[in-house]
Amino acid sequence: MAYHTRSNSFPSRPHPIIQEVDEHLRRLRSSEITSTSSSSISHKLSGLQDLHDCVDRLLQLPLTKQALAQEQHQKWANELLDGSLRLMDVCSTSKEALLKTKDCLQDLQSIIRRRGGESGVVTSEVTKYLTSRKMVKR
């Protein structure tokens, strides 16, 4: 009497999306050492957004969905996705605030370079710049 058994075979290499997530994580970790200028921060936020997109694609894979369903972690998965969305919102808001600050700074530099601007205009631009800096700090 012959018995047939099945073996669990696992892929020898991780899924390409997992490799992509690892690559984004590696880039973000290596960028921690670099400067903290507004363009650098904006670049890091873009990298974080790319990481979020990769994780989202990973969570949408049929095998991932099946594993989550089998483990009955639906509540956990929903909380994870909600947290992911909140993180994406924070990244987007931060990026917008940094871009606004950069624009205000460029306007201020332009007015100061002209030297013909009225002091009221310069004061107005400085106020806008300081307001945008307060937004970034929040």
Residue 54 pLDDT more than 70? yes
Chain centroid, CA 56 distance in Å: 12
- Enter the tokens of residue 101: 């600050």
Q: CA–CA distance from 5 to each of 1, 2, 10, 30 (Å)?
A: 13, 10, 16, 47
Could you state, in order of their start, the residue ranges of all structural domains in the chain? 16-137
Provide the pLDDT for residue 27.
Answer: 85
Output the pTM of the full model: 0.47
Residue 91 pLDDT more than 60? yes
Considering only residues 138 and 92, tell me which one the structure prediction assigns the higher pLDDT. Answer: 92
- The pLDDT-based confidence of 100 (bands split at 50, 70, 90) is confident
Residue 70 pLDDT more than 60? yes
Scanning the structure block, which residue is given the tokens 């490799």? 19
- The pLDDT-based confidence of 16 (bands split at 50, 70, 90) is confident
- The pLDDT-based confidence of 96 (bands split at 50, 70, 90) is confident
R_g over Cα of the chain: 24
Helix (H), strand (E), coil (C) string for 10-43 = CCCCCCHHHHHHHHHHHHHHHCCCCCCCHHHHHH
User: What mean pLDDT value characterizes the chain?
Assistant: 76
Considering only residues 56 and 1, tell me which one the structure prediction assigns the higher pLDDT. Answer: 56
